[in-house]
Amino acid sequence: MLFKNKTVWITGASSGIGRELAVQFAQQGANVILSSRSQEKLEAIKAELAPGNHKVVPLDMAQPERLMQDIPAVLDAVGRVDILVNNAGISQRSLFLENEFKVYRQLMEVNYFGLVAMTKAVLPRMIETGGGSVVAISSVAGKVGSKFRTGYSGSKYAVVGFMDCLRAEVTQHGIHCLTICPGSVKTAIGHNSLNGQGEAQNKPEASIENGMDPADAARQMLKAIAARKDEVVIGKGISSWAPTIKRFFPQLFNMMTAKTSYR
């Protein structure tokens, strides 16, 4: 068992990728701390996990200051966290010219400031207790831009930059920093994506419905954590190739994204 007796804290564990990560970490012998806003959903998932010393810790990533206040008590209770998976996130499908400004704040609070606050609260204890892994789920949208995602991509690019700088600072303390950039994965993210008024759009999307199976995505994520990778892109089809195409043919890529209406 790859992660036997490790304590793994997963945000956004009530759905999609986070839920699958919880299932697979527990199968690999880990004790999982499951977090998101939905206590009931988390309790139901916890009940289905392979046996372990699992815990539910409800939290709202959109309240980073509160999060930093509350986390020390959780750390005192669990003793140590070996792996922090900053996975909670929301997306967006709306055009810049039609967006209210508050949509940008909503996306940055959850996807960026929430992640920074979690890391700020957990990392010192991780260092004190001998090291561990900080994992951030960014996105292919954190490596390339496309229509309908000015706020989402901005927040996910910010995560990539944050993790690159953090890695440079804390490798010397025995901390492994991994940035995961998934392409489309079949989860509720399309339904939960914000419209220009900051409300969930509540409709399915072909790219997400045809996306990777979340169990396959989680399997690849666990492998990347075990191999102590710095950054991985995970996905199928064009979404997994997009960062490479952009890197080697930036003008062509930018021309293509301006012409297509990829959702």
Ligand X SMILES: NC(=O)c1ccc[n+]([C@@H]2O[C@H](COP(=O)([O-])OP(=O)(O)OC[C@H]3O[C@@H](n4cnc5c(N)ncnc54)[C@H](OP(=O)(O)O)[C@@H]3O)[C@@H](O)[C@H]2O)c1
Is the separation of the CB atoms in 196 and 95 below 8 Å? yes
Query: 85, 189, 218, 225: which one contacts ligand X (CB under 6 A)?
Result: 189
Rounded to a whole number of angstroms, the minimum distance from the CB of residue 27 to ligand X is: 18
Looking at beta carbons only, is 15 or 99 nearer to ligand X?
15
Long-range contacts of 256-261 (CB under 8 A, 24+ apart): 257/144, 257/145, 257/146, 257/147, 260/146, 260/147, 261/147, 261/148
* Whole-number Å distance between alpha carbons of 23 and 51: 10
The answer to the question of residue 132 lying near ligand X (CB under 6 A) is no
- 87 vs 150, beta carbon nearer ligand X: 87
Residues that bind ligand X (rule: CB under 6 A) add up to a total of: 32
Least distance (Å) from ligand X to the CB of residue 205? 9
Decide: is 222 part of the binding site for ligand X (CB under 6 A). no
Shortest CB 172 distance to ligand X, Å:
28
Window of 33-41, 70-78, 118-126, 198-206 that interacts with ligand X by CB under 6 A: 33-41
Q: Which of residues 226-255 bind ligand X (CB under 6 A)?
A: none
52 near ligand X (CB under 6 A): no
Task: Give the up-direction half-sphere exposure of residue 212: CA atoms within 13 A in the CB hemisphere.
Answer: 23
Among 60, 70, 205, 216, binds ligand X (CB under 6 A): 60
Is residue 184 involved in binding ligand X (CB under 6 A)?
yes
Among the listed ranges 95-103, 160-168, 181-189, 242-250, the one in contact with ligand X (CB under 6 A) is 181-189
Cα–Cα distance measured from residue 247 to residue 250, given in angstroms and rounded to the nearest whole number: 6
Instruction: Round to whole Å and give the CA distance between 84 and 218.
Output: 15
Q: Does 117 bind ligand X (CB under 6 A)?
A: no
Query: How far apart are the C-alpha atoms of 129 and 179, rounded to whole Å?
Result: 22
List binders of ligand X among 142-161 (CB under 6 A).
Answer: none
Q: Quick one: which of 136, 156, 113, 152 has its CA closest to 221?
A: 136
Selected catalytic residue, list 104, 112, 152, 157: 152
Task: Name the minimum Å distance from CB 200 to ligand X.
Answer: 9
Nearest CA to 53 out of 4, 102, 104, 11 is that of 4
What does the alpha-carbon distance between residue 95 and residue 73 come to, in Å, rounded to a whole number?
41
Asked if residue 181 lies in contact with residue 170, where contact means CB atoms within 8 angstroms, the answer is no
d(CA 156, CA 107): 9
- Is 152 tagged catalytic? yes
Contact residues toward ligand X (CB under 6 A) are 11-12, 14-18, 36-38, 41, 59-62, 87-91, 110, 137, 139, 182, 184-185, 187-189, 192, 208, 211
> Catalytic site residues?
152
